[in-house]
Amino acid sequence: MKRNESRRLYRRAQEVIPGGVNSPVRAFRGVGGSPVFFASANGPHLFDVDGNRYIDYVASWGPMIQGHGFEPVVSAIRDQAAKSLGFGAPTQRETEMAEKIVDTVPGVEKVRLVNSGTEATMSAIRLARGFTSRDLVIKFDGCYHGHSDALLAKAGSGVLTLGLPNSPGVPESVARHTLTLPFNDAEAVRTAFSQYGDQVAAVIMEPVAGNMGCIPPLPGFLEAVRGITADDGALLIFDEVMTGFRIARGGAQALYGVSADLITLGKVIGGGLPVGAFGGRADVMDHIAPEGPVYQAGTLSGNPLATTAGLTLLNTLDDAFYARLDAQTEALTKGLKELADRNNVAVRINSVCGMFSMFFTSASRVASFEDVSRCDVARYNRFFHAMLDAGVYFAPSAFESAFVSGAHTETEIDATLAAAEHAFARLD
Q: 18 and 144: one domain?
A: no
Per the CB < 8 A criterion, the answer to whether 277 and 311 are in contact is: no
pLDDT at 3 over 60: yes
Q: What is the pLDDT of residue 146?
A: 82
* Domain end (from 314, 339, 368): 314
Out of 100, 110, 139, 267, which one is annotated catalytic?
267
CATH number at residue 205: 3.40.640.10
Terminal C-alpha separation, the chain: 22
pLDDT at 24 over 90: no
Q: Is 267 a catalytic residue?
A: yes
Q: 46 and 151: one domain?
A: no
Q: What is the pLDDT of residue 166?
A: 57
Please give the average per-residue pLDDT across 72-96, as a whole number: 96
Name the domain count of the chain.
Answer: 2
* Better-predicted residue by pLDDT, 235 or 426: 235
* Better-predicted residue by pLDDT, 351 or 24: 351
Lowest mean pLDDT among 158-167, 261-270, 347-356, 366-375: 158-167
Q: 298 and 325: one domain?
A: no
Please give the average per-residue pLDDT across 120-145, as a whole number: 94
Structure confidence at residue 203 as a pLDDT band (50, 70, 90): very high
Nearest of 165, 174, 166, 183 to residue 122 by alpha carbon? 174
* Amino acid at site 160: L
Please give the average per-residue pLDDT across 35-58, as a whole number: 98
Q: What is the pLDDT of residue 305?
A: 96
Q: 192 and 273: one domain?
A: yes
Q: What is the pLDDT of residue 167?
A: 60
| % of residues, the chain, pLDDT over 90 | 87
pLDDT at 165 over 50: no
pLDDT at 160 over 50: no
Q: What is the pLDDT of residue 159?
A: 43
pLDDT at 158 over 80: no
Structure confidence at residue 144 as a pLDDT band (50, 70, 90): confident
Q: 253 and 384: one domain?
A: no
Q: Is 57 a catalytic residue?
A: no
Nearest of 234, 240, 304 to residue 277 by alpha carbon? 240
Lowest mean pLDDT among 123-127, 177-181, 303-307, 416-420: 177-181
Q: How far apart are CA 44 and CA 47, in angstroms?
A: 10
Q: Is 100 a catalytic residue?
A: no
pLDDT at 336 over 50: yes
Domain assignment of residue 155, given as a range: 71-314
Q: 298 and 381: one domain?
A: no
* Domain end (from 299, 314, 329): 314
Coil, strand or helix: which one is 198?
helix
Q: How far apart are CA 377 and CA 360, in angstroms?
A: 7
Please give the average per-residue pLDDT across 91-119, as a whole number: 96
What is the residue-averaged pLDDT of the chain? 93
CATH number at residue 410: 3.90.1150.10
Out of 10, 54, 57, 144, which one is annotated catalytic?
144
pLDDT at 279 over 70: yes
Please give the average per-residue pLDDT across 269-275, as a whole number: 94
pLDDT at 261 over 50: yes
Q: 272 and 197: one domain?
A: yes
Q: What is the pLDDT of residue 380?
A: 96
* Domain end (from 314, 345, 371): 314
Per the CB < 8 A criterion, the answer to whether 126 and 296 are in contact is: yes
Lowest mean pLDDT among 2-16, 171-185, 394-408: 171-185
Q: 130 and 189: one domain?
A: yes
Please give the average per-residue pLDDT across 25-30, as a whole number: 89
Structure confidence at residue 176 as a pLDDT band (50, 70, 90): confident
Please give the average per-residue pLDDT across 315-322, as a whole number: 97
Q: How far apart are CA 383 and CA 311, in angstroms?
A: 37
Q: 243 and 367: one domain?
A: no
| % of residues, the chain, pLDDT over 70 | 94
Beta 53-56 vs 262-265: how paired, if at all? unpaired
pLDDT at 162 over 50: no
Q: What is the pLDDT of residue 333?
A: 98
pLDDT at 377 over 70: yes
pLDDT in tens, 391-400: 999 999 999 9
Out of 48, 141, 185, 239, which one is annotated catalytic?
239
Lowest mean pLDDT among 94-98, 157-161, 345-349: 157-161
Q: 304 and 354: one domain?
A: no
Per the CB < 8 A criterion, the answer to whether 65 and 353 are in contact is: no
Q: 116 and 145: one domain?
A: yes
Q: How far apart are CA 101 and CA 356, in angstroms?
A: 25
Q: How far apart are CA 65 and CA 401, in angstroms?
A: 14
Q: 24 and 40: one domain?
A: yes
